Structure 1
Amino acid sequence: MSDSGYTLIYEPNTASKTSVSEFKNLLEKGKDDVKVDTMKKILITMLNGDPLPDLLMHIIRFVMPSKNKELKKLLYHYWEVCPKLDSNGKMRQEMILVCNAIQRDLQHPNEYIRGNTLRYLTKLKEAELLETLVPNVRQCLEHRHAYVRKNAVFALYSIYKVSDHLCPDCDELIYKFLIDESDSVCKRNAFVCLGDLNRDAALQFIQDNILMIESLDPLLQLAFIEFIKKDSIKFTQLKSQYAQLITELIENSSSNVVIYEAANTLTVLTSNPKSILLAGNKFVELATKEADNNVKIITLERINDLHKQYPGILHDLSLEILRVLSSQDLDVKKKALDVTLQFMTTRNVEDVVKLLKKELQSTALSNDDKNSEYRQLLINSIHQLAIKFSEVAANVIDLLLDSIGDLNSSAAYEVVIFVKEVVEKFPDLRQPILKRLISALPFVKSGKVFRGALWIIGEYNLEEQIIQESWKYIRSSIGEVPIVLSELKSKEPKEENGEHETEHKKKGPTVLPDGTYATETALTTETTTTEKDDDKPPIRKQILAGDFYLGAVLSSTLVKLILRLQKLEITPKILNALKAEALLIMVSILRLGESNLVSKKIDEDSADRILSYIKILNDEEDKIEIETSFLEDTKEAFKTQINAAESKKQEEITNELHKNAEQIDDSIQFRQLDNDNTTSKNIDDLNITSNEKKEDLSSRLNKIIQLTGFSDPIYAEAFVKVHQYDIVLDVLLVNQTTDTLRNLSVEFATLGDLKLVDKPTTANVGPHGFYKVQTTIKVTSADTGVIFGNIVYDGHHSDESTIVILNDVHVDIMDYIKPATCSENQFRKMWNEFEWENKITIKSPIQSLKIYLEELMKGTNMNCLTPGAIIGEECQFLSANLYSRSTFGEDALANLCIEKQTDGPIIGHVRIRSKGQGLALSLGDRVASISRKAKKPALLKV
């Protein structure tokens, strides 16, 4: 049996070693503090492979008699690793003196010295030494202090494990100790040992205490649970009895830790629906009672796992889980909502929706960031429920549209997206929802929300009455047209009404005869401006503020409404009047965009769109094609998008179900025929897959980097191993000279968000010798990093040294960037918030747009968020959004816009946005390198 070391100590310099004679001198003549330092050096040397057998007697003579507590601790470390056998394999004579010292410490009046000595005995594996110490350990079982007794139990158990003949009645002794003991820690230790030594005695003790199990100390209750876990694997016939015992523990224990462990164990012991429901209830109680947010998330995750394993049993817990929403932490609330949505059925959906509606109403009073994010979570949850269960959709929409004016723009836009999906999926609800939407629009404050609402009005208005109501609202929300003329008129002072009335009613600044503005107080100006803005109709206000995209969407809606009325064959007189009004509104928006009344001129895209709509209204020739494209094609595109998202979601649910389901053609395992118990599941590792992928050793060769040249006196190469938050460099050094390289050290430095954790040790390398060093570098962000350094060793003279410069090691950021997904709304929100943008111009010889996109996704580890239906293979243009996330939680967004020229390269640009500069620049470099990839020339001639 080889000697075992129990302590790991870092050695800063292996080249400078102290001789045995120096150690002896220091131990003989030094004071206690010098002896402490010397003992530390001795332990370091021994743990690094040099046993120093000649020092044993000196340590016995000069260190053992000391009463210094630190020195005594180091001495026990030394007894663990010192060589106890001579060259013939027999016990060294000096160990008799050590045994005597240990015996004295086992009888020491100080209980902590006794306890520390007993702890050492658990690490001693030599039966000859332990034999003389057994009586003293047995006496310690009866010591007055609990610290001694609890360590004595483990010491006795360890002695029995080394050689059972040293203490043949160990299990009886511990059983008697367990019955007589009053201290909870001692009882726990004793039961843990007894469970391993004598299963029948442990079962007997549980049976004796079964009536008062709820009054036992939680530590002992946990020990019972641990024993039951292990025993139920070997003796499955006892599972039902164990399940009853665990159930009693769950129902009566006052300790949350015991309840959690017991509930976990119960779910493995039995699949009885009643027991699973009890465990689920206890997990919910813990999630609501415990103050620690981590505990809440862990227990909620456990409930989710139980639901996947036993679908349908925990459905009644949905309202109980939502009690967790009283927590202040947003992550806990999100987890609770995610878990609850998995439990929804037609029986409980209405109750859950009522509760979510109350929560939404309670958050309307506050507009801070946390509350607005929580509102979005609630709206998203209600959205999912309404899409899944049509019976609650109408009721929910009324609430959301009522509160649309109180929500911020992001949450209000979520409501509009929700309404879009509902009117598409449930045709019966379209007309009442449209009426409700029109009545809610006057309270909307965001142009983005107006755009979504106008699209819904244009696409799903099928009845003449509702079309007329929509037209009335649009007309009133634009105000007087032409807009330019009415705005100029409102700014002119109304002198005809008298001087007094002008003072109170005129709006805008006062202009003096010389063309300058009259002086006004800040209060007056602010009030006047606010009043003026508040008086303007909502859509007009948005367009005056420069939102001409809304103007283009409004024009599109007007065209759709007129085309719809044409289909309904209303009287030509009314239709022509509405056409004229629509043309006046569109021309008015165009003129406003070119006037000086707006700070930002109309963009070319919006102007072109509005002009095309004006032409369409005047075009009578292509009537059928126009009607098809406006009234059917856009709706079909949206329907396809919804179906694609739904099928993707259904695919995820199916995959999840297959993961947790047992296949009908799986092989049946018979426990009775399984000698090795390989079919038994380890309860602690239920969620850990046993078949982990082994690393392909040949792939490691790709990660070896040459650090020096072949002609250098020392050759170095490094294997770079990337972990989640650090990089390990394994460096191999080869001495290519015939001399010994003394005090050789490798020095590394870093550039970027990298931090050197440890410094490689110094060593002497013999002629043509090999030496391996390892260093760890901490990574804090997915930024481009560089590791550089050199090798230094002493020359022939003491005052000179040789330096070999190493090649740079560039950290590949792709090891830290993983593809991720997010919703369109989240993508847009992050795109607006992130301040760092890197725009890369593309000119690539790759022949296909789709191939280029695939190359880009592969090279940058980004995921394409644009649905596949939008990316056409035959089209010469491609636009897509991409998203990835680093292991450090950094988000990276990219927008790709490219065009395939006829018989030419792909041109365009990629815009990358991130919160920090480093990630945007690093990904930009990767994109640039992908664009530079040229098609390999064909081999024409050899």
Structure 2
Amino acid sequence: MLESPAYTLVYEPNSADKPSSSEYRGYLEKGDDETKIAAMRQILTTVLNGDPMPELLMTIIRYVMPSKNKQLKKLLYLYWEICPKYDEQGKLRHEMILVCNAIQHDLQHPNEYVRGNTLRFLNKLKEPELLEPLVPSCRQCLEHRHAYVRKNAVFAIYSIYKASHDLVPDVAELLSDFLAVESDATCRRNAFVCLSHLDRGMCLRYMENQAITSVDAMLQLAFIQFVRKDVLVADPELKQRYLEVVSDLLESQTSVVVYEAATTLPLLSNSTLYVQSAASKFVDMAIKEPDNNVKLIGLERLGELAEHSDSILNTMVLDILRVLSAPSLAVRKKAIDITMHLVSSKNVDDVVKLLRKELEKAVGSGSAEDKATEYRQMLIVAIRRCAIDFHEVAASVVDMLLGFMGQLNTVAANEVITFVKQVIDKYPDLRSGIISRLLVALKTVKSGKVYRGCLWILGEYCLDEKSIHAAWRELRTSLGKIPIEDVKEEEEEKDEKDEKSQTDQKDHLEHNSAASSKPKVLADGTYATETAYASPADASASQSSKIADLLKTPLRSLILSGDFYLGAVLASTFVKLVLRLAEISKSQSLLNALKAEAMLAMVSIVRVGQSSDSGAKHKIDEDSIDRIMTCLRVLSGWSSGDAEKEAEGAFLEETKSAFEDELKEAGALSSNTGDLASESPVEQPDDSIVFRQLATEKKEAVDVTEQELHKISTGTAKKEDLTSRLKKIVQLTGFSDPVYAEAYVQVHQFDVTLDILVVNQTTDTLRNMTVEFATLGDLKVVDKPATANVGPHGFHRVQTTIKVTSADTGVIFGNIVYDGHHSNQSTIVILSDVHVDILDYIRPASCSEAEFRRMWNEFEWENKITVNSRWTSLKDYLDALIAGTNMNNLTPGAVIGQDCQFLSANLFSRSTFGENALANLCIERSSDGHIVGHVRIRSKGQGLALSLGDKVAAIAHNSNNALVAKV
């Protein structure tokens, strides 16, 4: 019994109304061409779905095959492909003789497109008995005048040979002779591809006789494909010849050929010359090709090449960085990532110089666009990696980045300060130079966050007396005149100077008014008036701004703008400098003077923050006051003995050790991530191959798959919990409805499958019953359940698939429709709504603190939920929130004990569709034992923020449900 081929099932929208064979026969005998086309479509669907309907074969031969309609003829060829050609005894049906005769007529048809279409159909025929009488006509088509017929005849001859070797025994010689006389490029390519599967020697001889670089691009691609396939069995001599062929194809004028040749060349040889030649072509593709997708593909191949041949491509780093001239940010990022993989001690100087030039151009452009800002930050991160990994360039990189810090935005400047922290901690010999350069760069800092980072560095790493004095002088100069609250006196002095300067300028202008406004004769004979002085208003404004800039130094202006957190950090820095100086200096008078000066500055900052007439924009917060007052107590000598030692340890040792621990944790995390990324399954050459059928009971080495199969076969595998499936069953109708329906909701990655059970609770047959669904939200119904007839008290099961495109909350609703006793009546049963749970599409994820802050600032949708719950502890509420929202805790300090009264944590998750969701939790325990606070959720889209907000609100609601323990 011959096995029938398997085909893809085709969806039938209404299987209940499918016509019978007699109805099909009537459509084909009496219908016009449109009716026959519709009938043939339905017949093809029915045959593909498993019903061969052999009784229609003769009807189709008589009434469809003679038609000259082109669309009907295409459908007819599809039918010849899938129709049953053998009877139950395995013999060829007699009707197929007529089919074979019709195909032969088409092969001799005067229209070349009919011939070509028929030849393409022969590629799908596998029956030698049908193909045998068609071989002479196919051989004649090889000599047809039209190239369309000849190129299809080549594949037809080859497919006939694969079906039966005896039908075309001389196929290799036939194709070789065809190649020798053929001039069309497509025909030659098809013949060479077929010959490459038949005779390797003939292909080699043909390649040697051709001018490789002058043949058509399609044939060149066929050459590369043949080389790539044959290199696995070729001997060393042939490999060298193949290398020469592929190397010649690198100089092709077609980009596709160059790409394929560059991809094939490293497979043939790991020689430095060939690897560099292939890499240079990928670089040229990334630079010259206008399409960004092509650029990325070239860089992707270059990255794969760099992973295996990084020592060879080290000399090409500067060539790869030429790709930075591309406008696409994704292309630039890919080029920088590849470069960072190839940086070594030999080329790091050149890489840093080139990246510095790019940074100068990016900063000099002054563009505030998101892409320009991201590109600058990308360059800073790349330079930072070079400096951390290579000590010889660290000092120059720090000088360069600190010089740019005044021109960068807050995010980029903060990246620079973070980098300086790492370098100054890792390389102690560079600390004095970095401190000196940092003190110079302080004058250009405009952001309070960046200034706080600079103050922390000065407080932790000014370890000798010289650097302490230098840092103190710079901070006092930047702080300006103290007490700071004398702002009104400064403004009065500034106003007096402004008035005096305006009076002097007015007198001078009146004295020179005649000279400044006399007419002047121009070159064309006309008159013009020139003025040598600016207006008094402009001059006074300019002078006023200059005086204001002189009076408000950077640190002073930041404090007066309301950044009192910076003032608290400044107080802590003063304490660290004084305590360190006390360890290395014996001059008590100098220490007392510095203490007094620092205490005066701290008290002045507090008074400015508390006074309403000081000129500060905001009042000082209580946390900053507490921190500054603690610093005052430390400097005033309020503690002694153990308390003093604990205070010194907190200021001088704890913060630095905490930063070092953070660096170690980050380094361990990055190394683990890199190991997992580079880890690949390794098998030793002498490892035994496990065959399940040949395995014995004594064999110990069994892989995981074999263990799972053994558990399944023996019944010891873990079975699915049926209660979990019951939880996913949704009741769609009531028990009193004429039709009862329930659905089992199964969620896949991007689909929701509804398996619906329909029960007919009546004594009548439900005719043409259809289950219809519609959606609300980012959902789409992919397929519609088929129509069916359900008998009395019968069961019917249908399935439908819903496509999901985002993690927003979606609703599925619908109804059941069936015909009544009369044809014009129909009954509709409304179904209950099915809500899609977004937790099925949200997974916990991780990101760095910098990425979290960047996304928090970028995302525009925020949902703030107030928390007032009765959980027993803050940790229990945090655990419930993480479990109920599928988010990951990014704050290690959020692991707290039961006695803690305050908790703050950052949470992060990512949906299956790549949508990020951020959350910030701030809660505390009130006096009555309730947990109060709020949860702020941010996302790029509104739907995700609202959906997660509903989950958070539900967690608080569930905790407030009172439980009765005893009655």
Superposed displacement of residue 73, structure 1: 1.9
Query: 2: distance between equivalents of 1:145 and 1:849?
Result: 82
Tell me if 1:777 matches 2:802: yes
Aligned equivalents of 2:288, 2:92: Cα separation in 1: 59
**1:748 touches 1:790 (CA, 8 Å); kept in 2?**
yes
Whether 1:368 and 2:389 are equivalent positions in the alignment is no
Give distance in 2, aligned partners of 1:621 and 1:83: 101
In 1, the alpha carbon distance for the partners of 2:446 and 2:818 equals 72
CA contact (8 A) 1:849 1:878 kept: yes
Q: Supply the AA of the counterpart residue of 2:301.
A: R
Question: Aligned match of 1:756 in 774, 781, 784?
Answer: 781
Q: 1:608 aligns with which of 626, 648, 656?
A: 626
What are the Cα deviations for residues 448-473 of structure 1, in whole angstroms up to 9, with x where unaligned?
11111111111111222322222222
TM-score (normalised: structure 2) = 0.84
Residue 931 and residue 41 in structure 1: after superposition, are their counterparts in 2 closer, same or farther (change >3 A)?
same
Three-state SS of the structure 2 residue aligned to 1:134 is helix
Matches of residues 436-585 of structure 1 in structure 2 within 5 Å?
436-487=437-488, 489-491=490-492, 494=495, 501=502, 534-535=549-550, 536-569=552-585, 571-585=587-601
| Gap change, CA 1:288 and 1:239, over 3 Å in 2 | farther
1: CA distance, partners of 2:231 / 2:722: 43
Q: Which residue of 1 aligns with 2:301?
A: 302
Q: Which amino acid aligns with 1:62?
A: Y
Distance 1:381 1:240, change over 3 A: farther
Contact 2:247 2:265 in 1 (8 A): no
String of CA shifts for 1:701-753, please: whole Å, max 9, x gaps: 84553444695655545454544443343445455666543211111122222
Secondary structure of the structure 1 residue equivalent to 2:802: strand
**Kindly tell me: are residues 272 and 656 of structure 1, through their superposed partners in 2, closer, same or farther at Cα, counting changes over 3 Å?**
farther
How far apart, in 2, do the equivalents of 1:67 and 1:503 lie?
Answer: 104
- CA shift at 1:145, angstroms? 1.6
Q: Secondary structure at the match of 1:445?
A: coil
1:152 maps to what in 2? 153
Alignment of 1:46-57 (within 5 A): 46-57=47-58
Question: What is the Cα deviation at residue 432 of structure 1?
Answer: 0.8
Asked if residue 209 in structure 1 is aligned to residue 207 in structure 2, the reply is yes
| Structure 1 residue 549: Cα displacement | 1.7
CA distance in 1, matches of 2:593, 2:912: 61
Partners of 1:182 and 1:615 in 2: CA distance: 97
Alpha-carbon distance in 2 for matches of 1:318, 1:498: 62
- 1:733–1:383 Cα change, 3 Å: same
Check whether the contact 2:576–2:651 (CA below 8 A) recurs between aligned residues: yes
Measured in 1, the distance between the counterparts of 2:48 and 2:540 equals: 82
Residues 404 and 412 in structure 1, CA contact (< 8 A), matched pair in contact too: yes
The code of the aligned residue for 2:162 comes to: K
- Taking the aligned partners of 1:692 and 1:713, their CA distance within structure 2 comes to 49
Q: Which residue of 1 is the match for residue 917 of structure 2?
A: 892
Is residue 2:646 matched to residue 1:625?
A: yes
Match of 2:246 among 245, 249, 265: 249
Q: Deviations over 1:275-326 (max 9, x none)?
A: 5454444433433333322233233333333444455443333222212211
Tell me the alpha carbon deviations over residues 571-619 of structure 1, each in whole angstroms, 9 at most, x when there is no partner: 3333333323222322222222232533432222222222322232223
Question: Are residues 932 and 494 of structure 1, via their aligned partners in 2, closer, same or farther at CA, if it must alter by over 3 Å?
Answer: closer
1:166 maps to which residue? 167
Q: 1:522 to 1:246 in 2, by over 3 A?
A: farther
Pick closer, same or farther for the CA change 1:78–1:319 going to 2, 3 Å: same
Contact 2:259 2:282 in 1 (8 A): yes
Counterpart position of 1:238 = 235
Q: What's the CA shift string for 1:512-568, capped at 9, x where partnerless?
A: xxxxxxxx9999998788667644221222222222222222222222222222223
Amino acid paired to 1:636: S
Match of 2:519 in 1: none
Q: What is the Cα deviation at residue 433 of structure 1?
A: 0.6
Task: Indicate the residue corresponding to 1:138 in structure 2.
Answer: 139
Distance 1:661 1:32, change over 3 A: closer
Contiguous gaps of at least 5 residues in structure 1: 506-519, 677-688
Shift of the 360–774 alpha-carbon distance from structure 1 to 2, 3 Å rule, reads: same
Contact kept, 8 Å, 1:137 with 1:155, in 2: the verdict is yes
Cα distance, 1:296–1:86 mapped onto 2, change above 3 Å: same
Output the CA distance in 2 between the equivalents of 1:210 and 1:446. 70
**1:483 offset after TM fit, Å?**
2.6
Preserved contact between residue 207 and residue 223 of structure 2 (Cα < 8 Å): no
Instruction: Check conservation: 1:533, 1:541, Cα contact below 8 A.
Output: no
Does 430-439 or 1-10 show the bigger shift? Answer: 1-10
Task: Determine if contact 2:176/2:202 at 8 Å carries over to the other structure.
Answer: no
Residue 64 to residue 656, structure 1, CA distance change in 2 (3 Å) = closer
For 1:24 and 1:498, the matched residues in 2 are separated by 108
Residues 78-108 of structure 1, C-alpha deviations (whole Å, 9 max, x = no match): 3223343445544343333332222221112
Q: Does 1:801 align with 2:854?
A: no
Contact 1:232–1:269 under 8 Å retained in 2? yes
Whichever residue aligns with residue 624 of structure 2, its letter is: S
Kindly provide the amino acid, as one letter, of the partner of residue 152 in structure 2: N
Distance 1:901 1:220 in 2: 80
Residue 839 (structure 1) shift? 3.2
In the aligned structure 1, how far is the partner of 2:332 from the partner of 2:836? Answer: 38
Bigger mean CA deviation after superposition, 215-224 or 639-648? 215-224
Deviation larger for 159-168 or 827-836: 159-168
The separation in 2 between residues aligned to 1:716 and 1:227, in whole angstroms, is 59
User: Is contact 1:309–1:660 with CA below 8 Å preserved after alignment?
Assistant: no
SS in 2 for 1:483: coil
Q: Determine the C-alpha separation between the residues in 2 that align with 1:746 and 1:239.
A: 67
- CA distance in 2 between counterparts of 1:735 and 1:346 reads 79
Tell me whether 763-772 or 546-555 shows the greater mean CA deviation.
763-772
Distance between the aligned counterparts of 1:850 and 1:613, measured in 2?
32
Cα distance change, pair 2–802 in 1 and its aligned pair in 2 (3 A): farther
Q: How many residues align?
A: 905
Question: How many angstroms apart in 2 are the aligned matches of 1:16 and 1:503?
Answer: 103
Of 289-298 and 340-349, deviating more is 289-298
Larger deviation: 425-434 or 924-933? 924-933
Aligned to 1:815: 840
- Hey, what's the Cα distance between the residues in 2 that align with 1:206 and 1:839? 72
CA RMSD of aligned residues (A): 3.9
Paired AA for residue 368 in structure 1: A
C-alpha distance 368-693 of structure 1, shift in aligned 2 (>3 A): farther
Corresponding residue for residue 720 of structure 2: 698
CA contact (8 A) 1:364 1:406 kept: yes
8 Å Cα contact 1:247/1:275 also seen in 2: no
Q: Is 2:662 the partner of 1:637?
A: no
Please state how far the C-alpha of 1:493 moved relative to its aligned partner.
Answer: 8.0
Distance (whole Å) between structure 2 residues aligned to residue 697 and residue 125 of structure 1: 45
1:782 is displaced (CA, Å) by 1.2
Cα distance in structure 1, aligned partners of 2:722 and 2:65? 50
Question: Would you say the 8 A contact 2:286–2:298 is kept in 1?
Answer: yes
The equivalent of 1:288 in structure 2 is: 287
Q: CA deviation at 1:434?
A: 0.8
Tell me if structure 2 keeps the 8 A contact 1:250–1:258: no
Paired residue type of 2:662 = Q
Q: In structure 2, do the counterparts of structure 1 residues 497 and 78 end up closer, same or farther at CA, with 3 Å as the change threshold? A: closer
The residue number in structure 2 matching 1:337 is: 336
Amino acid at match of 1:451: R
Local SS of the residue matching 2:406: coil
**Cα distance change of structure 1 residues 760 and 910 upon mapping to structure 2, 3 Å threshold:** same
State the SS of the aligned residue for 1:165: coil
Identity %: 55
Give 1:135 shift. 1.3
1:598 aligns with 2:599: no
Partner Cα distance (1:783, 1:277) in 2: 49
- Residues 1:437 and 1:765: Cα distance change in structure 2 (over 3 Å): same
| Structure 2 CA distance for partners of 1:53 and 1:105, relative to 1, 3 Å | same
